[in-house]
Structure 1
Amino acid sequence: MSAGGFLLIIIAALLLFGPNKLPDLGRAVGRTFREFKEATRDIVDDQPEVRRTETAPQPQVEGPKPDDRRLPE
């Protein structure tokens, strides 16, 4: 949006709502955007995770056997 268009929107808002109501209007718009953002985040978080049905076999690591240990000589 160009600077001229932005300035035109500000002047129109001042004429429609007056300088006393603009801060309240700004807060209301900010709250609306914040709630919308939180709602969309909740929707994305609620989607179920995709799980793989087949898992790769885990290698089994055997620990040292008690018979294999030796004391230093």
Structure 2
Amino acid sequence: MAARYGRGRTFTSLDRQVPCCAATVALDSLRYDWPVGFARFEICVTNPVRAAYELDTAELGAVAALLGHPVTQILAHY
């Protein structure tokens, strides 16, 4: 996103190639379901024997402490 941010404090272009089909689309033309996020990387947590699907507040806090930065959990189903 920083590379697309112009000196005039606006985005010069919102066109991006999406990974699903390699099409070029404008980010503002996509339909987003809340919550949504843009990130430099993702951490994927999987554990098929876990009872709860989502990380709880304590687990999110532990991840944030390890990274030294707040985290947001965004659930995705593919």
Q: What TM-score range do you get, normalising by the shorter chain?
A: under 0.3
> Whose helix fraction is larger, Structure 1's or Structure 2's?
1
Answer 1 or 2: higher relative contact order, Cα 8 Å, separation at least 6. 2
The normalised TM-score by structure 1 is 0.22
Question: Highest Rg: 1 or 2?
Answer: 1
> Whose strand fraction is larger, Structure 1's or Structure 2's?
2
